[in-house]
Structure 1
Amino acid sequence: MALSGKLTKKLVENLGAGRHGDGGGLYLVVDPSGARRWIVRVTVKGQKNKKGAPLRTDFGLGGADVVTLNQARDRALEYRRMAKQGLNPRFNAQRDIPTFEEVAQQVHIDRMPTWKNAKHGQQWINTLRDYAFPKIGRMPVDSIDQPEVLMCLSPIWTEKHETARRLTQRIKIVLDVAKSKGFRSGENPVTAIKDAQVLPKVKVKVKHHKAMAWRDVPAFYADLKGRSAISAKALRFTCLTGSRTGEVLGMRWEELDFYAGIWTCPEIRMKNGEDHRVPLTNEMLEIIEPLKAMQSEFVFEGQKRHAPLSNMSMLMLLRRMGIEGVTVHGFRSTFRVWASEAIGADREVAEMSLSHTIGNAVERAYDRSDLLDRRRVLMEKWSEYVNSFEQV
């Protein structure tokens, strides 16, 4: 017969943040985030703590999403019986602990709605699949400590440092989630490794995207303007707006306000996770308005109907034009250098035109303007310059 207590299945699912007792030392703990886990408080017979008082200890029994109310009561009863016999449950209890890989896969599933795109979410789990699962994937998640984490990080720490840095973050997240569900206790070993500076410091060279000199842009743009391919139109628009490839290629018609002359790129495609308004110049409008006739969901449609151009389309066009050593992303840098060297534009206006974050969190809280009018003037000057090539 099932054990009984104060809680019910409905209460377990709906109780707010706090510690809610079921009786017999069993508690449901609801975090402010909404995460729910079970703990049991027992007093081990005949054992004392450091102060000489009876040894009273809390033990995690697992998350309420994987451990039912009746299972939690059964486990709590098992812990109380051991404590009554003078056995510390920490060393004597039998628990079903998931493996590191099982927890990681669940974290990946739970976070799917939060990924910017499917590719980003797949990269998250692929890093763990390639570098963590072969070493610690089958280990119970509560048995992973600093040596096990170092087994994953050390082989790639210097040679693939950026990958190792991301792997570090993802292992930490998995272990933090495991702790929140009651499968682990104590400090996260990733934090301990970082604080102790166990791994050597790696000097990472910043890799800049190769950019075209701003003085060469008008001649290049004139060549580009004479091409009718959709990739050429997309590259022209990218040069003029200083936007990132994914922002431009993912552009849909509903993002454009032709009356106000504004393109609003939604936060899901923005690197900083915030909507970004781009003032549309006449040159930009001249590119995109004729494309309405295609009646596609995307402004720059690719080979498949109602699908955007591929990410490589503009780069491949550059190569066909004989432009070597220049990337599409590099035109952002070209615009920024031009704004500084050619016309002495205000730093804040130029940086905000590239959707860069300006100032610290406090400054941004007080100054919420996106300087749209001043950016429109700057983008008009850039469009005029880009389109200023004269045939000799």
Structure 2
Amino acid sequence: MKCGTFMPLHSGKLTKNLVRTLGPGRHGDGSGLYLVVDTSGARRWIVRVTVKGHRNRQGKPLRTDFGLGGAELVTLNQARERALEYRRMAKQGINPRYNTQKEMPCFEEIAQQVHLERLPTWKNPKHGQQWINTLIEYAFPKIGRLPVSDVRQPEVLQVLLPIWTEKHETAKRVAQRIKTVLDVAKSKGFYTGENPVNTIRDAQVLPRVKQKVQHHKAMHWKDVPAFYADLSTRSAMAAKALMFTCLTASRTSEVLKARWEEFDFNEMLWTIPSERMKAGEEHRVPLTPQMVAILEPLKTLRSEAVFEGQKRHKPLSNMAMLMLLRRMNIQGITVHGFRSTFRDWAAERPDVSREVAEMSLAHKVGSDVERAYARSDLLEKRRHLMSQWCSFVVN
């Protein structure tokens, strides 16, 4: 047998124990096989080969890294066998990228797996569904069936360019989700090299888009007392919910999903649990006599939902208050806009600090460090502000 026709499976420098315990970095086994340990603890195999007779763009011998799979799935011996197969191809002048028989999942398969694995972490099922829906609509038709290892910068640009200027916010979400899928693929050993989303972002390949801030259309604060007087003559549940929304300056979902156990009428407090807040933190709303006057008659309904809709113990539809505005011929105004109305009114008052006004809207104030030291939610100051607001509205 001539020298060079047989390539034995080497014993190498690594052991099973080292594969499990080595820290972050690239650890060589010999003959181009490496164990890569990420800072996250993820472990994957790669092999570096030089393809005989092939040159890169600089005219130098074509040296390429190939992923062989994650170390939790591919054993040390299996990695050595796969590395040997790649070296044989390269020695024969065959580029393993186009000839390997190793099963490679497509982009869509990895994306669906990421979606399922992260379902328990979504804030709610709707957010989880939105995450995968953007990829289904924009990414899967173009790169979904490609082997995930082949999704590089041109393929990512193929997805992003058509929507980058017309649907910029959506495009940014799609880019971030593609990045996540490729990061996961890399951690599992199916992807090598720099994430193309990072490369595109850092090189500013896509055109800069100047966005206009979209504000919810709001009623002028001087018009609120007259509007509220008209609203208070209506007996529909949507009217009661909208009155309460105006007085509390709360978000639509916070009001509609309110339950009686959240209210303490002795302490005059409505405590909204963290899971229902946008910022994920519990928020205390000081109650005023005007707010309680809306709630008291609703207790007789004995419903689990404070603002009950068509179905027993179920809240109103999230469109109920907006539809009421349209029936009242209030055009171009959103329910959420009443939060801006409250904020504009507060800004006109010389005795109200920005901090108190923002915290009344459950907005975060200051840097992370400042918030870490600011233990108080300024409840009593906010109680005084809400009392003034309710007195202005219900005059």
**Mean Cα displacement is larger for which, 345-354 or 72-81?**
72-81
Q: 1:41 to 1:127 in 2, by over 3 A?
A: closer
Distance 1:355 1:224 in 2: 25
Unaligned runs of 5+ in 2: 1-13, 53-62
Aligned residues: 369
SS of residue in 2 equivalent to 1:111: helix
What corresponds to 2:390 in structure 1? 383
Indicate whether 1:77 and 2:81 are aligned: yes
Encode CA deviations 1:216-265: one digit per residue, 9 max, x unaligned.
11111111112121111111111111111111112222322333222222
Distance 1:192 1:78 in 2: 29
Contact 1:40/1:76, CA 8 A, preserved across alignment: no
What aligned pairs does 1:104-253 form with structure 2 within 5 A after superposition? 104-253=111-260
- Cα displacement (A) at 1:373: 1.3
- Cα displacement (A) at 1:95: 2.4
Contact 1:37/1:61, CA 8 A, preserved across alignment: no
Distance 2:176 2:123 in 1: 17
- Cα displacement (A) at 1:85: 8.9
Q: 1:184 to 1:225 in 2, by over 3 A?
A: same
| Deviating 4+ runs (over 3 angstroms) | 5-8, 15-19, 23-32, 40-46, 56-61, 67-70, 80-94
What corresponds to 1:38 in structure 2? 44
Indicate whether 1:68 and 2:73 are aligned: yes
Q: 1:174 to 1:69 in 2, by over 3 A?
A: closer
| Percent identical | 60
What corresponds to 2:7 in structure 1? none
Q: 1:76 to 1:280 in 2, by over 3 A?
A: farther
Distance 2:244 2:251 in 1: 11
Contact 1:231/1:309, CA 8 A, preserved across alignment: yes
- Cα displacement (A) at 1:177: 1.4
Encode CA deviations 1:328-360: one digit per residue, 9 max, x unaligned.
011001000111114541000001111111111
Q: 1:18 to 1:291 in 2, by over 3 A?
A: farther
What corresponds to 2:363 in structure 1? 356
SS of residue in 2 equivalent to 1:38: strand
Q: 1:43 to 1:195 in 2, by over 3 A?
A: closer
Indicate whether 1:334 and 2:331 are aligned: no
Contact 1:99/1:138, CA 8 A, preserved across alignment: yes
Q: 1:254 to 1:158 in 2, by over 3 A?
A: same
Distance 1:304 1:77 in 2: 63
Q: 1:63 to 1:308 in 2, by over 3 A?
A: farther
SS of residue in 2 equivalent to 1:369: coil
Q: Residue 74 of structure 1 aligns to which amino acid in structure 2?
A: Q
Match of 2:308 among 289, 301, 320: 301
SS of residue in 1 equivalent to 2:306: coil
Q: 1:81 to 1:121 in 2, by over 3 A?
A: closer
Distance 2:268 2:16 in 1: 58
Q: Residue 319 of structure 1 aligns to which amino acid in structure 2?
A: R
SS of residue in 2 equivalent to 1:132: helix
What corresponds to 2:106 in structure 1? 99
Q: 1:16 to 1:298 in 2, by over 3 A?
A: farther
What corresponds to 2:270 in structure 1? 263
- Cα displacement (A) at 1:116: 2.0
Q: Residue 205 of structure 1 aligns to which amino acid in structure 2?
A: K
Q: 1:60 to 1:352 in 2, by over 3 A?
A: same
What corresponds to 2:11 in structure 1? none
Unaligned runs of 5+ in 1: 47-55
What corresponds to 2:379 in structure 1? 372
Indicate whether 1:310 and 2:317 are aligned: yes
- Cα displacement (A) at 1:383: 1.0
Indicate whether 1:278 and 2:285 are aligned: yes
What corresponds to 2:56 in structure 1? none
- Cα displacement (A) at 1:18: 6.4
Distance 1:367 1:89 in 2: 60
Distance 1:171 1:42 in 2: 26
